[in-house]
Every structure is written in C-alpha cells, then in structure tokens.
Amino acid sequence: MSLKQRLTDDMKAAMKSGDKDSLGVIRLVNAAIKQKEVDERIQLDDTQVIAVLDKMVKQRKDSVDQYEKANREDLAAIERAEIGVIERYLPAKLGEAEILAAIDAAIGETGASGPADMGKLMAALKPKLAGQADMGQVSALVKQKLSG
C-alpha cells in the first residue's frame, strides 16, 4: 500500500471514529501533497511524500522553538501533537551508528577524501537517508568524518 493510500485510509478511519485532531493533521498532509502535485504537475511517489512529511515536521519543530521562546506553551503543545501524527507516516529514524555506517559506505562509493568532497558525499547520502535521519545531524557527522 502506498503512503498516499495509507493517509487516505487513515483519514477515513479518523472521520468514522471522530478523531478530530488526527483528522485535521492528515487533511493538512494531504493538502500539502496535493499542492506539490499540482505545482509540479506530477504524481508523488512514496519517497517524495516522505520529503513533504519531513518538511512539515521541520516547520513544526521551528514553530515549537518560536512558541517556547514566546512562552506560549499552549501553542507549542499543539505543534508537538501534530508532529506526533505526521511522524506516524515517516520511516523509523536511524541511530548514529547506522548513519555512520551509511556515511562509510557512501565514502567508499564516491571516493570522498576531504572536506572539499562534502557536497558530493551529501548528494549520495540524501536519497538513501531521506526521512530516516535528520540531515543536519548527517551533515555534521559527514563534516566530522571528512575533516578528521
């Protein structure tokens, strides 16, 4: 079952069960997916849907930071709840050891040897780790690996 179909099925289930919180978030996700499809005139596959979901989670994490700085815990809690619903549809996150193993494999594939090869290495890693790792963390680990 594709991710888009799973989202649609879960939306129907949330409507039937009266789960308004999940329903609202799933509708937002579907709207973001549809918007991207219309803008780019394509049908998104699961990898592209995961990229949309990642972007939505990142936006909400930024909002949580802003709300906490403004002492608006009520709004931060809403954003955290939305993150929880969206993350149900993302693949399991990789641990640091698994990310390092992926970096080592990519170094072997690309022949990266120093900091100048960071872009090439990140380009190889991004499709493999999309949705499974925070790319900021991956970037920091790559930089550490290539410089030391």
* pLDDT by position in tens, the chain (length 148): 899 999 999 999 999 999 999 999 999 999 999 999 999 999 999 889 998 998 999 999 999 999 999 999 999 999 999 999 999 999 888 888 999 999 999 888 888 888 888 888 898 888 888 778 888 888 899 998 888 7
Q: Indicate the angle between helix axes 46-69 and 3-17, nearest 10 degrees.
A: 60
Name residues whose C-beta falls within 8 Å of residue 90's C-beta, 6 or more positions apart in sequence.
50, 53, 54, 57, 131
Its pTM stands at 0.78
Phi and psi, residue 24, nearest 5° = -60, -45
So what's the pLDDT on residue 76?
96
Phi and psi, residue 111, nearest 5° = 75, 20
CB 104 within 8 A of CB 119: no
Q: What is the DSSP letter of 1?
A: -
